Chain A
Amino acid sequence: MTHKTLAQRLDDSVRWTGTAATVAKPRHRRPQRWWSTLAIVVATAGLVVAIGWPALRWPGYAVLMAAFSIANFMPIFGPLKPWGGTEPIDERERAIRANAFLIALSVVSFVAVVGMWGAVATSAFGNWDGATLRLAIVDLAFYIAALYSALPTCVASWVERRLPDEDD
């Protein structure tokens, strides 16, 4: 009979859950063309409705949050491996990721600047109160976060056509 240390028993308990084996498996990444595009389109629609039609603020916000939720899955299942992750990445994948993030971050920066100035200008001309402006900024923040999650995947998925997995 072997005597296991506490650390070994803890290791065994983790292995017993199956989590360790699941994490060790290579992740099946695929282009997410339609899901990422859907997330961006729906988020844009939600933002426009939430800010443009005050009576529909909460339905618009709900749509925006649904799109934000979809967008959050894009880095997990999309073709781009995360920065600083443990998944092995080669030079082509690194180049695709750099290109996709360069485009996406340019768009995100542009949207952030235009959105902030747009919100300030609209609040001034539309006589918004402080609460309305705060809600608009919250909507904008979620929209930018959705773009940040979905846009790199969207760019990479549309630019790169995945080759069949089967060898030869």
Chain B
Amino acid sequence: MHNRIALFRAEYGLTRKALAEAVGVNPQTVGYLERGDYKPSLELAMKIAEQFGVAVEHLFSFTPFEPVADTLRRAGDR
């Protein structure tokens, strides 16, 4: 399972501790999630997605996410 939690967290300027407190987990758990070492429950995944105001599939995916640079390049080409 791949995720973009670290990316969203950086964009929103949230620390691991702040995100952990917002979704009710230990900051270590956020770290494990970001590294892909822990697969969250549906409830936790939805809480994190809700925190960033996006759909859960924007945060988690079975396939690797496209690099941000590629997305920006494509957006610039349009």
Contact = CB atoms under 8 A, between A and B. Distances in A.
B15 interface: yes
Contacts of B17: 167
Interface stretch (B21-29, B51-59, B69-77): B21-29
Interface residues of A, number: 10
A93 interface: yes
A96 B73 CA distance: 42
B28 A162 contact: yes
Nearest to A167: B15
A91 B39 CA distance: 10
B29 A90 contact: yes
A163 interface: yes
B16 A93 contact: no
A163 B25 contact: no
B38 interface: yes
Contact of B25 (A90, A162, A165, A168): A90
A92 interface: yes
Contact of A163 (B15, B31, B40, B44): B31
A88 B24 CA distance: 9
A163 B26 contact: no
Nearest to B20: A90
B63 interface: no
16 contacts: A88-B26, A90-B24, A91-B25, A91-B40, A91-B43, A91-B44, A92-B29, A92-B32, A92-B38, A93-B26, A162-B28, A163-B31, A163-B32, A167-B15, A167-B17, A168-B16
Interface of B: 15-17, 24-29, 31-32, 35, 38, 40-41, 43-44
Interface of A: 88, 90-93, 162-163, 165, 167-168
> When A and B form their complex, which 4 residue pairs have the shortest distance between CB atoms, in order from nearest?
A90-B25, A163-B31, A92-B29, A167-B15
